[in-house]
């Protein structure tokens, strides 16, 4: 399966009389955008605001971040099963608008939503502070249920990204990248001397606003299965969860998965990147056993020599992570896990809720309990009235001068477990 990804680098975003891309600037007619995303009975009002890197703007509570993309050639469309027909995507040509994102915000859905500061110390913890953000602020209708609120805002964000992505369809990209994964037997024959490496992609699926969707299907209903890596680039995986902001995978991260990018970079040179196994994170022990058994079975079935496993979330999913690691290692396959830590504010507590001696190759993306003070901002998009109750906040987090004292757990993308972060770690 081969995908051409055409990247169009946007230098700025402005409101204008018509929606268009001209001289690397995205001009947005607000009324056109609102007409494209509106009409949901669960939403009382929608507005759109812009937030640029370096501006004294705080966006909160953030629900999702999405990159506008469009299918130019090949089957299907962006976000199959959600907005487009359920065709298998990941082939042909896709265009992506780089340096920008659609961010959804507004009245809080669940307490695990985040903060994006466009400048200051908080901006140094989130990769999304470097983007020109089109912020869709959606206020829910009175009396709706949480899951209806989440679903409505999720759909509005995807529609906004789809609408903007369409304007990239007929533009010549600034660069084109090529990604190809051959069928297994062909791949083995092509690179017989390279180690076969796969990626186990753990998806947050614990319900109660902790869901991820694959081709429109709630992933807690699946058993582990195989994807071509390029399917993720066309929006086959969509975020629908409100786990802690620091380590959730927004839809933008699924579209730009750092591990997949890095494995493709080494494919055919140092490794043979065979493909992706998606698996879920479960609540009950029997479901954890089933999914980890299937995951290990698939790694063995593919004849892999090495596996990278990334987690989403923390606490309960630590058990899924360690089960996957232990069982894959028991198949004789070298395994590296990618996670983050909840080691207490002093860094002295146990980092993961579960452990095993076989988990001896670990990449950490930071301690989510680290405390930071975010200075006041001139402008708030959304509302800060929820800061005291979001994950990472506490009674008194929001100070009278508008500054906020929180754990970096509250910052969107601060310790993302695919490595899509600004923090780094050293090996000793």
Q: Could you give the residue numbers annotated as active site?
A: 242
Which 3 state secondary structure label does DSSP give 76?
coil
Residues paired with residue 411 on neighbouring β-strands, in sequence order: 115
Contacts with 304 (C-beta within 8 Å, 6 or more apart), sequence order: 196, 197, 198, 274, 333
Residue 94 CB burial class (10 angstroms; 0-12, 13-18, ≥19): buried
Please give the DSSP secondary-structure letter assigned to residue 160: H
DSSP letters, 365-415, are: EEETT-EEEEPP-SEEEE-STTGGGSBTB-TT-B-TTS-EEEEGGGBTTTT
Residue 266 tokens read as 């080494």
Contacts with 284 (C-beta within 8 Å, 6 or more apart), sequence order: none
Please give the DSSP secondary-structure letter assigned to residue 250: -
Residue 164 tokens read as 């903007």
For residues 421 and 428, what is the distance between their CA atoms, to the nearest angstrom? 21
**Per-residue burial over 285-321, b = 16 or more CB atoms within 10 Å of its CB, e = otherwise:** eebbeebbebbbebbeebebbbbbbbbbbbeebbbbb
Is residue 410 within 8 Å of 114, Cβ to Cβ?
yes
- C-alpha dihedral (327, 330, 335, 336), degrees to nearest 10: 60
Residue 263 tokens read as 């494995």
């Amino acid at each position: 399966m081969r995908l051409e990804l055409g990247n169009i680098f946007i230098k700025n975003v402005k409101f204008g009389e018509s929606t268009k891309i001209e001289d690397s600037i995205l001009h947005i007619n607000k009324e056109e955008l609102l007409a494209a995303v509106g009409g949901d009975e669960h939403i009382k009002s929608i507005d759109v605001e812009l937030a640029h890197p370096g501006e004294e703007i705080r966006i909160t509570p953030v629900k999702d971040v999405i990159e506008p993309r469009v299918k130019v050639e090949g089957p299907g469309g962006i976000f199959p099963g959600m907005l487009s027909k359920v065709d298998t995507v990941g082939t042909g040509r896709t265009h992506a608008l780089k340096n920008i994102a659609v961010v959804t915000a507004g009245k809080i859905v669940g307490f695990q939503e985040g903060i994006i500061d466009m400048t200051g110390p908080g901006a140094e913890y989130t990769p999304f502070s470097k983007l020109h953000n089109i912020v869709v602020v959606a206020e829910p209708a009175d009396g709706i249920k949480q899951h209806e609120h989440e679903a409505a805002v999720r759909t509005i964000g995807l529609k906004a990204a789809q609408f903007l992505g369409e304007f990239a369809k007929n533009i010549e990209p600034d660069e084109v990248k090529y990604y190809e994964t051959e069928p297994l037997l062909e791949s083995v024959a092509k690179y017989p001397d390279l180690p076969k490496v796969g990626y186990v992609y753990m998806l947050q699926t614990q319900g109660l606003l902790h869901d991820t969707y694959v081709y429109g299907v709630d992933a807690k209903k699946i058993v582990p299965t195989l994807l071509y890596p390029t399917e993720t680039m066309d929006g086959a995986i969509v975020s629908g969860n409100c786990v802690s902001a620091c380590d959730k995978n927004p839809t933008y991260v699924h579209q730009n998965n750092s591990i997949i990018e890095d494995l493709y970079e080494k494919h055919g040179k140092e490794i043979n990147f065979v493909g992706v196994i998606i698996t879920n994170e479960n609540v009950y022990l029997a479901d954890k056993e089933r999914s980890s058994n299937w995951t290990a079975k698939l790694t063995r079935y593919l004849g892999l020599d090495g596996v990278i496993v990334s987690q989403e979330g923390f606490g309960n999913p630590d058990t899924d992570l360690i089960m996957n690691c232990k069982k894959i290692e028991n198949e004789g396959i070298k395994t590296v896990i990618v996670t983050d830590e909840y080691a207490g504010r002093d860094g002295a507590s146990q980092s993961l809720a579960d452990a095993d001696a076989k988990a001896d190759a670990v990449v950490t993306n930071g301690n989510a309990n680290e405390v930071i003070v975010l200075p006041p901002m001139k402008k708030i998009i959304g509302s800060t009235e929820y800061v005291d109750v979001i994950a990472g906040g506490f009674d008194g987090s929001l100070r009278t001068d508008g500054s906020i004292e929180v754990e970096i757990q509250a910052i969107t993308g601060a310790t993302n477990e695919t490595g899509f972060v600004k923090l780094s770690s050293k090996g000793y």
